Amino acid sequence: MTGARGAVAGVLLASAVGPGCAATTPDPHAAAIAYASAAQRGDAAALYAMMTTTSRRDRSPTEVGAIVADERAELAEQAAAIAGPNTRLEATARLRFADGEEAALDMRGGRYGVTAAGALPGGGRTPEEALQQLRRVLARRSYAGLMRVLSPSARASMEDRMRSLVDGLDDPGGLPVQVTGEAAVVAVPGGHQVKLKRDGGVWRVDDLD
């Protein structure tokens, strides 16, 4: 299907998920049946009411009505398929918090489970989602979060480098320090180098490798 499937049938039903999602989340089966019933009747107003806010911005009620009128037979066929015994429902919800973070939830066995959350990144289902998670943990300056979004090999490599640096700094008083004015370079065992800079009489780490 093209017209109705792309413009109406393919929209996400407006089932908002709130903070108390375990108790207040609408039944997606009921939403699917309601959609099938509206599609069977050719009820453009009901179909429009089920569309998300974003979808409503893209198409006016008049445009949806025209699509439904043109695709009436196709919508009826789809409605019969949705209400059929072999239909398998997959429900996904996104919960947006006040600070802009999001949690993705998938329904399994009649219950929603967290697929990924900003504080508990679990890897994106697309490259874009993985990059979004990386941005979030970097914005929070979260080392633990960064470890969770890295692949096992990248995580192991970073942890090895950090462990090597920690071991190399075990006796900082015995390390060779080259001071040049307000800057200093320290050679650390394990092939590391730490650059320091003095600002206002206080030495701070400026770079490390």
Cα 150 off chain centre by? 15
pLDDT surpasses 50 at 56:
yes
For residue 25, what pLDDT is reported?
56
Please give the Cα distance from 189 to 119 (Å, whole number): 35
What pLDDT digit, counting tens, does each position of 59-115 carry? Answer: 889 988 888 888 888 888 888 887 777 777 677 776 666 655 566 667 666 666 666
Residue 168 lies in a domain: no
39, containing H or E segment: helix 28-41
Between 48-52, 115-119, 169-173, 179-183, the lowest mean confidence (pLDDT) is in 115-119
Cα 5 to Cα 116: distance, rounded to the nearest angstrom = 28
The C-alpha atoms of residue 7 and residue 61 are separated, in whole angstroms, by 12
Q: Which domain holds residue 137?
A: 92-149
Is 1 a residue whose pLDDT tops 60?
no
Do 72 and 12 share a structural domain? yes
pLDDT attached to residue 3: 43
Is the residue at 157 inside a domain? Answer: no
Least confident of 18-22, 51-55, 64-68, 194-198: 18-22
Mean pLDDT for 158-165 is 88
Question: Mean per-residue pLDDT for 161-165?
Answer: 88
73 shares a domain with 14: yes
Let me know whether 136 and 204 are in one domain.
Answer: no
Q: Which of 149, 142, 147, 141 is nearest to 160 (CA)?
A: 147
Tens-place pLDDT, residues 174-192:
889 999 999 999 999 988 8
The answer to whether residue 121 sits within a structural domain is yes
Sequence-ordered list of residues with C-beta below 8 angstroms from that of 165, at least 6 positions apart, any chain: 188, 190, 192, 208
List phi, psi (to 5°) of 72. Answer: -55, -50
Q: Which helix (H) or strand (E) holds 167?
A: helix 152-168
CA dist 45 and 171 (Å) reads 74
- The answer to whether position 13 is within a domain reads yes
Q: How many domains does the chain have?
A: 3
**Cα-based torsion angle of the residue sequence 43, 45, 51, 54 in order, rounded to the nearest 10 degrees:** 140
Indicate whether 12 and 68 sit together in one domain. yes
- Please indicate, yes or no, whether residues 75 and 104 belong to a single structural domain of this protein: no
